[in-house]
Homo-oligomer: A and B are copies of this chain.
Amino acid sequence: MTWAPVPPGSGFGIGNLPYGVFVPPGGRARVGVRIGDHVLDLRAALGEEEFARASLNEFLARGREFWTATRRRIVGLLTDPEQRDRLVDVLYPVSDVVLRLPIEVADYVDFYASERHATNLGAILRPDSAALLPNWKHLPVGYHGRAGTVVVSGTPVTRPCGQRRSAAGAAPVFGPSQRLDVEVEVGFVVGTPSALGRPVPVEDFERHVFGICLLNDWSARDIQAWEYQPLGPFLGKSFATSISPWIVPLDALTAARVPGPPQDPEPLPYLRDSQPWGLDLRLEFALNGHIVSRPPYAQMYWTPAQLLSHLTCNGASLRTGDLFASGTVSGPVPEEYGSLIEITWNGAHPVRLPDGGTRIFLADGDVVTLRGTAPGPGGATIDLGAVTGRVGPAGVHPR
């Protein structure tokens, strides 16, 4: 039991303790952990200089043993009643602080690991051919995104402009995207680097990856459709990628680990893992406060350990702060799809909102919020927090 105030039913109990970067009133950015509806200043609590920073990267670089030892120390402090008087002054209500982007993102990679999502997109975009491309069940398809436009939850997202075609064969026009979409994803944060030329074996996932966040891979479908051949998505994605402010450590997800789905054909040896790295995360996509879908993570075809092994199998090195994402999480039924293009089936079934409005894609002023939970120890719930963003009109610059 912790002496810190944790409201009943909170998913931010002593079994969670996610890390973030916050600015207290009148202070400077620093690293904290969330407990209940408060954030504990780790520089003050632990006295270590790597927490007096505006990102988690210095802490992340310390590696698995230090991460686990730090977690143990924090649990010790928060469960020792004698620490209360010392720490209560450095325990801030979350509502009083500003949450910052928790990591300096090194490289950002996005995968495409949901079989249902890949099948849906194939059926919608290439109706005349097989929905899954021949490579899909042999390797986790992925690509590099723009690290410099990864933003923290709450950052306004300006509707992007770009080239699009009004009809096949028509000349392209330039203007605001008409098909702005979301992708409900989970991001994985790399802590410790690896050497160039040395692949990271699938069983080393836990040595390198610190934790997870929620991620919204905002997507302009019209820009993407016109630009993506033959080198893949570029400006249809690079205008913004939002992540949740709290990085939940893998150490908090022990009870959430499940076997991934059966894989047929059997993957090549470098992708075979003896450890279960499926994760029973339950996600939620809300549009203007209305829940539109509940994508389940557990049935993702490729596990994050497989994604990491694939990402490095050519010798590509890892850096502290690398972020790789799962790709859109879509379950078997429309109520579990992770993007509007799937939920509306490219416009055939618009989403109806409680205010009477309908959506195929996002309108200016729409607020998108992704949330998530995982099973925690002893029947507790681990809250993954939320990633939210309001769509602003094209050409109106919030900064």
Contacts and interface: CB of A to CB of B under 8 A. Distances in A.
Contact of A196 (B149, B171, B236): B149
Contacts of A240: 196, 315
Nearest to A236: B314
A348 interface: no
Indicate how many identical chains form the complex: 2
A316 B239 contact: yes
Interface stretch (A41-49, A50-58, A225-233): A225-233
Contacts of A311: 235
Interface stretch (A202-210, A297-305, A317-325): A317-325
B144 A238 contact: yes
A354 interface: no
A313 B235 contact: yes
Given A145-B144, A149-B196, A174 B268 contact: yes
B171 A239 contact: no
B162 A314 contact: yes
Interface residues of A, number: 69
A259 interface: no
A345 interface: no
B232 A230 contact: yes
A80 to B, nearest CB: 41
A12 interface: no
Interface stretch (A32-40, A62-70, A131-139, A335-343): A131-139
B223 A314 contact: yes
B318 A148 contact: yes
B198 A143 contact: no
A218 to B, nearest CB: 11
Nearest to A156: B197
Interface in A340-399: 392, 397-399
Contacts of A106: 147-148
A210 to B, nearest CB: 17
A323 B232 CA distance: 19
B196 A135 contact: no
A265 interface: yes
A142 B317 CA distance: 23
A371 to B, nearest CB: 24
Given A148-B316, A319-B148, A133 B230 contact: yes
